A and B are shown apart, each in its own frame.
Chain A
Amino acid sequence: MSRVQRRELAGAPTLTIDVIALLHSVGLSAREIRSFTPIVKRHSVLNEIGEKIIDKILKNTLSGNDKDGKPFISYSPKYVKSTIFKIWKGRSRKVNLKLKGDMHADLSVVSISEPQGVVTVGFTDEEESNKAKGHITGANYLPRRDFFGLKKQELKDIMLKTIREYEEDAIFDVEEMLIKAAPKIGTEGFQDMQLFEALYGS
């Protein structure tokens, strides 16, 4: 298996990273590879690598660049003049593939295989997945704005940073911390507070 596999044409777009293969490709000594291999097979480490990949993809996208670091093609004048664009983006013309933020919010770690040291990121919601697919491949007369991926060096940096953090005990379970810290949120008067039970209750 190559270090990174991307599937998009059949089904939902996913990005699968073989962290073990990545580990062998960064020029480490045999001793370092032996010592890091059990680390990158840990669930928490693979999850953290996946989350960092998502952070980086979104950071690149929000700054207007595709997976190769090239700027996205501008939005069409017709789209910029549309009411929906004005409602959500006001006068901003920045191309960052974000209108309401639903597609960005849906990008998540979808699977982890500890024995193989593999992590997959992708979309969980069909509508958001189709939206992403449209941007990645260019569909319905839209230009291709392929945001879904990272450069090899970016992936290597993420992996090595995460190993370092693991060694320094600096990997925190963000989900668990969020459950402890999440504010109650809802609308007043018409209903009970919409707690985040819908998300955290299960």
Chain B
Amino acid sequence: MGVKFKTSKKLNDLLKGKIIDEFKSRENLEKIGKLAAKLVYGRTKEGKGVTDAKSPSPGSTSLKELKPSYIEFRKRYPPTGRFSSVEKSNLTYTGTLLDSITPKIKKASIKLTLEGPHHAGMSNKKLGEIVQEQRPFFALTGKEQKNITSEMKKLMRLLVRRYST
């Protein structure tokens, strides 16, 4: 007859606390923040914004088309940003606005911000606010939230495995 060893509930709770603490470490939150920034950046570069930036779980939709007069301007002075296009809007002329998306970690929260000055003579944040009115892009869609949650779950399961073996 074997002896069955069972961990106590107290020990189990202690372990849970340690896992949660490590999960909330700056390093892990930075990983999650970088993923969130990448998702907004990639989606916008694809030419997609969000249906309603104020909704807790918006969908994704194509960004409003460029005006013909602005397309003409862009033909004369071609955009220089990465993945830019003369005729299609992906909020990239020089690329400064989207390159400025930065995850900021404070306690247990992650904020995506638009950092620094834009060469259009205003801050990226201010430019973002103006752009957001016509072409909402700066929010996480429902699918992006799910994607981030799934990564968090993976991270948590990794920690559980590490602590419970």
Interface residues of A in 54-110 (CB under 8 A from B): 55, 83-84, 86-88, 100-102, 104-106
Q: Give 1 or 0 for each of B1-28: 1 = CB within 8 Å of chain A CB.
A: 0001111000010001001100110000
The verdict on B94 contacting chain A, using a C-beta distance below 8 Å, is: no
Interface residues of B in 121-154 (CB under 8 A from A): 125, 128-129, 132, 138-140, 142-143, 145-154
In the complex, A77→B23 CA distance in Å? 39
A181-B156 in contact (CB<8A)? yes
Interface footprint category on B: 35 or more
Complexed CA–CA distance, A185 and B4 (Å): 43
Interface size on A, as a range, is 35 or more
Let me know if B149 and A196 touch, CB within 8 A.
yes
Contact B109 A185, beta carbon cutoff 8 Å: yes
- In the assembled complex, B46 has its CB within 8 A of some CB on chain A: yes
Q: Which of the candidate stretches A23-31, A112-120, A171-179 sits at the interface with the other chain?
A: A171-179
B-contacting residues, A180-195, CB 8 Å: 180-191, 193-195
Given contacts A106-B150, A197-B56, 7 further A-B contacts (CB under 8 A): A87-B46, A87-B83, A165-B164, A168-B7, A184-B110, A188-B114, A193-B109
Q: Which residues of B contact A (CB under 8 A)?
A: 4-7, 12, 16, 19-20, 23-24, 29, 32-33, 36, 39-40, 42-43, 45-46, 53-54, 56-57, 83, 104, 108-114, 125, 128-129, 132, 138-140, 142-143, 145-154, 156-157, 160, 164-165
